[in-house]
Every structure is written in structure tokens, then in C-alpha cells.
Amino acid sequence: MIDFGKYKPAVSKVVLLFFAGMLWFFVGLMLLFMASSWLLEAELANRSVFATAGLILAIFVYRFGFLRIVDKNLARILTVDEKRSPFSFMPWKSYLIIPIMIAMGATLRHSAIPKHYLAILYIGMGLALALSSGRYAKVFLREIRARKPV
């Protein structure tokens, strides 16, 4: 009989930390690129107002929302001793939320709301995600250093 278990993809917690950090960073970067393209279409005098509002939103979302989520994910990932599925860097509930977030974003982008106002939300979420990825990077680098033989 064939042992299919040995063909099951599995990675260490260091790889899970890398995947999580990269996902948060690149999704944040994508949102920031979208917001910046919308701001370029806004009147020059209003760009800094919209960008500043997005920055303020980002600080609140980062501090009071995403850091808690990141810390929960890190606590879960760091308790992993054996290799796990490469998709286990997020809890399964988060995979259910992703399509909802994508649908909300698509709905907003196709709504009648002017894009320069949406840029505030996209800067807030994008920058908060990108900043939060730094926490993953910090723990990832700490874990890499701890594994390095002396």
C-alpha cells in the first residue's frame, strides 16, 4: 500500500512565518498602489488631505486591530513543533473571511463613491497591513537566528 502521507506538503514554522509576513506585506502594497493611483486623479490641493486621513486611519487600524490579529497568529505558529501544511499560517476562519473582504473591495471599487475618498480606506488598510508584516519579519528573523548553528 502506498503511504500518501509522505507526499503531503509540509513546512516548518519558519516558512509559515515567512508566508504570513509576505502575504500581509504584498496585499498591503497592492492596496497602497491602488490608492496612490486614485490619489493621482484627485486635485493636487486635496491629495495631501486624503493621504493624511489614510495615514491616520492606518495608525488606528494597525495599533488597535491588526497587531492583535498578528499576535494571535504568531502565538499559534510559534507553538508548532512539527511540520505543517503550507496553508496553516492562517487559521481556517481567516480563509472564510478573505472572499468576503475581496467582495467588499470589489463592491466599493465599482460603487459610485469617488475613488479619492476610497483612497483613504485603501491607504488605511494597506499601510496597516504592510506595517503589521514587520512584526512577522521580526519574529521570522529571530527564529532564523535561533536555528543557526554556532
- pLDDT tens digits for 24-50? 999 999 999 999 999 998 888 889 999
88-134: per-residue pLDDT in tens?
888 888 889 999 999 999 999 999 999 999 999 999 999 999 999 99
Q: Indicate the pTM of the whole model.
A: 0.88
The three-point CA angle 123-128-131 to 5° equals 120
Residue ranges of domains in the chain? 32-147
Find all residues with CB under 8 Å of 82, minimum gap 6, and list them: 10
Q: Give CA–CA dist 14/25, Å, rounded.
A: 16
